[in-house]
Amino acid sequence: MIAPIVAAAVAAGVITGWCLTVTIAAAAMSRSQSHMMRKVRYWQAEASRAQAEAEQLAEAAMTQLTESPQR
């Protein structure tokens, strides 16, 4: 009579442990993914700012190179 109860308790423990493990792993993956997406958005914005600054510098350099010297 005790053996089926023990077997059921062990099975319930294994299933509960598996569910907890899956839930915790899914939460960790979700947190990691959101952290990575924040990093990606940050570096995309930095790249856009750097590209805009490079374009301004290139335009200023071209303006200086194409100006005729007044001598």
pLDDT of residue 71: 53
Q: Which amino acid is at 28?
A: A
Q: How does pLDDT run across 22-35, given as a tens digit for each residue?
A: 999 999 999 999 99
State residue 68's pLDDT score: 63
Residue 6 has pLDDT above 80, yes or no: yes
Pick the more confident residue, 62 or 70: 62
Per-residue tokens: 68: 């005729």
Q: Which residue has the tokens 């077997």?
A: 7
Average pLDDT over residues 12-40: 98
Structure tokens at 60: 């200023």
Cα 51 from Cα 58, distance rounded (Å):
10
Please tell me whether the overall predicted TM-score, pTM, comes out greater than 0.75 for this model: no
Q: Cα separation of 70 and 2, whole Å?
A: 105
